[in-house]
Every structure is written in structure tokens, then in C-alpha cells.
Amino acid sequence: MQLQQVKQRFEIIGNSHGLNRVIELAMQVAPTDLSVLISGESGVGKERIPQIIHSHSSRKHGEYIAVNCGAIPEGTIDSELFGHIKGSFTSAVNDRKGYFEVADKGTIFLDEVAELPLATQVRLLRVLETGEFIRVGSSKTQKTNVRVIAATNVNILDAVKQGKFREDLYYRLNTVPIFVPPLRERKEDIYLLFRKFAADFAEKYRMPSIKLTDAAQEALLKYRWPGNIRQLKNITEQISVIEEQRLVSVETLQSYLPGIDIANLPAIYNKQADQSFSNEREILYKILFDMKKDVTELKKLVYDIILDNPGVKVDESKVRMVEDLYNDKDEIKIHKPIVQQVDNKIDTHKPERPEIEDTKEFEEENLCIADKEIELIKKALEKFKGKRRKAAEELGISERTLYRKIKEYNIEN
């Protein structure tokens, strides 16, 4: 019941577990004086959390000051936080109290605390540890009793490693860490927020509230929302003002959200991908091997036709073709009598070509795929001393495929 009251008071929309946990943690830490560091992406609503903490603390009757550290120039940040005395710099025409002095016995919220200059970080650390500070241009130490709540949308640990943020200040601020989840991790809250913003803008601009089709609602939930709640609010306002049609389709929504048609979901790993690669290669090997057999049969067919038809005249180029077809290592060589028999079919007016000597055979490289496979498998097994798993990885095939090929080719392991 108390949780719902807090949501209503601070206009927090959503029922996701992550959001509820953040609010509960803020209420638990509120009665203490511990420093709190709120982290989360830009636009998630981090500014609501320090308000909840302050309103439920013993300091609720004191000052609550929110300071955007990134919006204050580096030259004036010390003066804004700790004050200055007259004449401390050119434009210091009067004494001025800083936020830490004004918020005494209250709460200061330092938004974008990672943007503070290193010199200011030293001053802030002193306030956190001793409650003391010195105005710019003064030598007098002053005391303050302020609770500090900080927020950041960057990874401060990375900033510490890069030397942009003091490590001791980080641990001093991070006494109680609170992480506000991004909108994409609160999918059940997205449509609730959209309806709330649509109703607010309808009342503000005095027009009917916009609604979404089922397809548009689904697209709204799939979108990653890099700008989180701030982006959702801006998009809702744009559509409310610009679109005349009050029922918004997914096509209309696409024009306002870049990349909404792309499903920004985690990629699903296809476990069969590795297996299919090796299977495709095996199919390719089989096709090539079958083609090799077809070519061999074609060679024999041409050879038989020439021998069975001695009366057919064959020109010399065809004789050369027959020689080339049969001059492979895996085929029978053309012997001298066969060549002479074919030569007799050639026109006698053409010059005789030199006889082919069979005393010297030309050994070409073996291009048989099966032989090459056997050779590679043997080399892989020899390299890894018979370990089939390692050999299969080296060959780029599965261990099961390797085992089958060893049996098929009768390879000794």
C-alpha cells in the first residue's frame, strides 16, 4: 500500500519488479544519513529517487537542492557549490552562499556527478568526510550538515581507471548504490507510460487522446528506447500534436521511431550451423566425385567409338584430344600401337606426327578427391597422434564425420 502511495505522490508509472525494488530500496535507506549513488542510463527517471529519499528522511523539513553538475561551467562550479566572498574573482561583487551552506540540515542532489572537475572533487570529498568547506577566496573553514545523493549515467569505475574521477570519492559516494533499470528491461511499463503521457497531452492540448493498434503496441514493446522514458514522452507528444488520425498504426509509428522495424532482440545462436557446414562440404565432395566418374566414363566411351569404327576419318586434333583424355595417372596410357592405328585414319596428305614413345611416362599430380581426402585425414591423425577430436577440428569437420570416413576408407588409426 505504501509503495502505491509513493508512486502516486511522485507520479511514478509502472509495476515492474525492477522499478518496485528501486523504490523499496530508496525508502529503506531514507531514514539513515548514508550517501547514495544512483546509476542508470539517461532518461530513466533517476531524479525521482532522491526526492523519495529526502521526503522519507528526518531532513524532509530542510532544504532539498538539485544541482546539475554538467550544466555549470568549470570556472564557476566551486562558487556555486561552496560560495565565494566579495572580490575573490572579477564578477564577485558580493559575498554569496553556496549550495552546501544553503542546504544545511537538508539534502543536496548532485546529478551527473562524474562531470565534476578533479579540483572540485577534492573539495566535495572533504565535505563528505568532515562536513567542512571553504568559500572561494576565503580562508575561513565553515561547517555544514548535508546529506549528499549523487547520480550518474556513466560507468564511474571506467572514469576512475581513466583518471577522470577520484577513486576515494567514488567509494565515499557509493555507500548505498541504487541502479535504475532502463525502459527496455521494464517492458510491462512501456504501454502504461505511453497511455499516461497520451492522456496528459490530450488534456494539455485539448484534443482526443491517441491510441495504438495491436501491431503498433507490439512494435512499441520491441523498440529498444535508447532515450528511455524521456524519449517515450517526447515521441508521444509529437504524435499527439502532429497526427490527425487518433488511432496510430505501426506505419505511422515507424516514421517517429528510427529502426523500429528492426527487431532489436538478442541474436539466437543456431546450433546446427557448424554441423550444416561440414554436411554441405561433404555433399560438394560427393558431387565433384560423381562428376569425375562421369568424365571418366565419357573418356572410355569416346575411346571405344574410335576403336570400333576404323573406317571413320578422324582429324589430328581429335587424336590429340583422345591422348589428353587418357593421359591421366588414374587411367590406362595410350600405347604406341593404338596411336598408330588412329594415325592411319588421318589424311595421308598431312605430315606425319612423331610417334609417341612409351619408354617414358609423364606422371601428373593426383587430383582424385577421394585420395586427397585420405591423405589429409592421415596427415591430421598423424599430427595429433591419433586424437580424432583434434584431427576433426583441424579438418573442419565433425568428429562423427571423421569416424565415418575412417571406416569408409579403411584408414588405420
The verdict on 151 and 119 lying in the same domain is yes
Q: pTM to 2 decimals?
A: 0.62
CATH code of 398's domain: 1.10.10
Tens digits of per-residue pLDDT, 147-195? 999 999 999 999 999 999 999 999 999 999 999 999 999 999 999 999 9
Tens digits of per-residue pLDDT, 39-97? 999 999 999 999 999 999 999 999 999 999 999 998 899 999 999 999 988 888 899 99
How many CB atoms sit inside 10 A of residue 90's CB?
6
Angle (deg, nearest 10), helices 273-308 and 316-326: 130
> What is the predicted pLDDT for the residue at 77?
95
AA letter at 85: I
The verdict on 89 and 23 lying in the same domain is yes
* 231 occurs within a structural domain: yes
The verdict on 173 and 239 lying in the same domain is no
- For residues 273 and 235, the answer to whether their CB atoms sit within 8 Å is no
In which residue ranges of the chain is pLDDT below 50? 262-277, 328-364
Expressed as residue numbers, the domain containing 376 is: 369-408
Q: Is 97 exposed, middle or buried (0-12, 13-18, 19+ CB in 10 A)?
A: middle
> What is the predicted pLDDT for the residue at 179?
97
* 364 occurs within a structural domain: no
* Bridge partner list, 406: none
